[in-house]
Amino acid sequence: MSKLSIRDLSPAGKRVLMRVDFNVPLDDQLQITDDTRITAAVPSIEYLVKAGAKVVLMSHLGRPKAAPNPKYSLKPVAVRLGELIDAPVHFVEDCVGEKAEAAVAAMKDGEVLLLENVRFYPGEEANDADFSKQLASLGDLYVNDAFGTAHRAHASTAGVTEYLSPCAMGFLVEKELEYLVDKLEDPARPFVVIMGGAKVSDKIEVLNRLMGKADAFIIGGAMANTFRLAQGYQIGKSLAEPDKTDLALQILDKAEKNGIEFLLPADTRHTAEFRDEAPTECTAVWGEGGAIPDDREGIDIGDKAIEEFSKKIAEAGTIIWNGPMGVFEKRGFDIGTKAVGKAIADNKKAVKIVGGGDSVTAANQFGFGEEMDHMSTGGGASLELLEGKELPGIAALDDK
């Protein structure tokens, strides 16, 4: 995707207004529990610092309902960012107005300032023109490195671009577009798409979009239950979408007509108790007596499914993984997700893309993150990009 890059700018001595995604989880003591999103923005920040720019950062955190709330202050983020870039990060307790303007005016070349949460103002999510102008007045040019919010047309992601020029993407956004768009234009074959999670309806647009490109689909998670229910099989108390069975059959029919391999779990791991380390069993192979008893629910793919999925993954030239194979958050229900993650990591020849959300969490949890070529920072944004939708935060940037 040919958008202006941070590499194309001449930022020395300029105020660079930069949108980042510092929407990090905090505990009850307002301590950061996962700094992945902060770390992801560091390369772009350090690049601008070394180039002699005044780097003015803006972000949201949580859902403060358009009013100041200490619970959602970005102040702890400024401290952590300073540790990561080994340089002071100034913080100002507002994102527009006199305090923000004075803090920016006091900056020296090569310094970093983090503004307070932009969602403390209703104008952010409303993409209000006046609020956008106020934010834009704090910069000479604009960089968006917040891929996780690029699917939102907010003041800090789209509105400010009406009042600043040039507007470019940072290194993080650049990498997201490289893997989720460019590398999928002509993917190395076989192209295998692994999809899990709860709902077929959440992934239908991605399924349809990639149906014309993929060689094989691997389906796990609760969404597989909807397909098995549609085929007439007994799924017990398993999570499913009974009202989407017609849709599931349409997808299966489309895959068959297009000659695309569509792998559903050959068996399912099920339990009578939804708790850590609860006893589990695997069904027989579906279609050969496989059924989940009425008092039990499927919580993971079974052993035969792991074997078949792993074999298919080993043959792949390009892999997209979006969604876990089961309830991996609970011990004993994580076997399938861990096995699929390992199979992806073990394929050293393939381009391996993890499409955000729970899949990234799982890859990191099981120690496979470093083996992946790209792990997307945007759950909703990555899905919409894979669906072929235009992301407002990307569309608003200047073309090369």
| Options 82, 369, 379, 380, the catalytic residue | 380
**CB distance 152 to 392 below 8 Å:** yes
Residue 115: both structure tokens together:
């503004």
| Options 302, 357, 378, 393, the catalytic residue | 357
CA atoms of 130 and 18, how far apart (whole Å): 18
Which amino acid makes up residue 207? Answer: L
Q: Please, which residues bridge with residue 89 across strands?
A: 112
Residue 248: both structure tokens together:
């599931």
| Options 199, 209, 254, 330, the catalytic residue | 199
Residue 207's contacts (CB-CB under 8 Å, 6 or more residues apart) are 195, 200, 217, 251
The Cα diameter of the chain in Å comes to 73
Element (H, E) at 130: helix 129-136
Alpha-carbon radius of gyration of the chain: 23
| Options 3, 19, 37, 352, the catalytic residue | 37
Distances (CA, A) of 348 to 117, 190, 315, 316: 41, 14, 10, 10
Residue 124: both structure tokens together:
């952010």
**CB distance 136 to 95 below 8 Å:** no
What 3-state class would DSSP assign to 145? Answer: coil
User: Could you confirm whether 380 is annotated as catalytic?
Assistant: yes
Q: Residue 43 phi/psi, 5° resolution? A: -55, -45
User: Could you confirm whether 311 is annotated as catalytic?
Assistant: no
CA atoms of 397 and 375, how far apart (whole Å): 23
CA atoms of 293 and 199, how far apart (whole Å): 22
CA atoms of 214 and 278, how far apart (whole Å): 36
User: Could you confirm whether 37 is annotated as catalytic?
Assistant: yes
**CB distance 200 to 248 below 8 Å:** yes
Q: Which residues are catalytic?
A: 37, 199, 357, 380
